[in-house]
Amino acid sequence: MAHESRLQQSLRELIEQRRTAALATSSLEDPDAASAQLAAPLISMVPFAWCAEFGCIVLHVSALAIHTRAMERHPAVSLLFSAPETPGEAVHALERVSLQGVASTPPRDSVLHTAARATYVQRFPEAEFMTGLPDFRFVCITPLLARHVAGFGSARDVDANDFTSAMNFQAG
């Protein structure tokens, strides 16, 4: 029987209980430009689903959205998942996970696209009609590294394999 640590369970449950995440993308037009100026990152709230079959976070985004164009130019992205605030309690100990990953858009006729769509529609059945709209697409975020803050004084780095294992854990 597989064992799930308290921290793995905490990470998985936090993400499963959230339906949206903060997505950070780069606003730089040309990543190779020799510029002393740093552009501010773009931040958006996005609904997401976890695709266990391919070990990725699935987003469904419009081609018209600025974050979609940013991910096409610069596939390095970050997502932030956070527990909700509780009135009267300190916010410094809120559980949170920041995830660094790589964004990719699977071709419409691919196995990954089919799995991404099924995963997303299972989590958001009300969005099924949007999956047929021509300006929308699925983006898959492959985890690279996560930072999990389980509470005050409890922070750790989680590599891609451990993150995927925690997300895919099923009690035997």
CATH of the domain at 108: 2.30.110.10
Tell which wins on pLDDT, 114 or 152: 114
**How does strand 136-151 pair with strand 42-47?**
unpaired
Task: Please list, in sequence order, all residues whose beta carbon lies within 8 angstroms of the beta carbon of residue 61, skipping any fewer than 6 positions away.
Answer: 46, 67, 68, 71, 136, 137, 138, 139
Overall domain count for the chain:
1
Boundaries of domain holding 157 = 6-27+43-80+94-168
Residue 88 inside a domain? The answer is no
pLDDT at residue number 118: 98
Work out the mean pLDDT of the chain and round it to a whole number. Answer: 90
Write out the H or E segment, with its range, that includes residue 12.
Answer: helix 6-17
Residue 67 inside a domain? The answer is yes
Model pLDDT for residues 101-142, shown as the tens digit of each residue = 999 999 999 999 999 999 999 999 999 999 999 999 999 999
Residue 118 inside a domain? The answer is yes
Residue 121 inside a domain? The answer is yes
Residue 69 inside a domain? The answer is yes
pTM over 0.95: no
By CB atoms closer than 10 A (0-12, 13-18, 19+), residue 172 is exposed
Q: Do the Cβ atoms of 74 and 26 come closer than 8 Å?
A: yes
Residue 32 inside a domain? The answer is no
Residue 103 inside a domain? The answer is yes
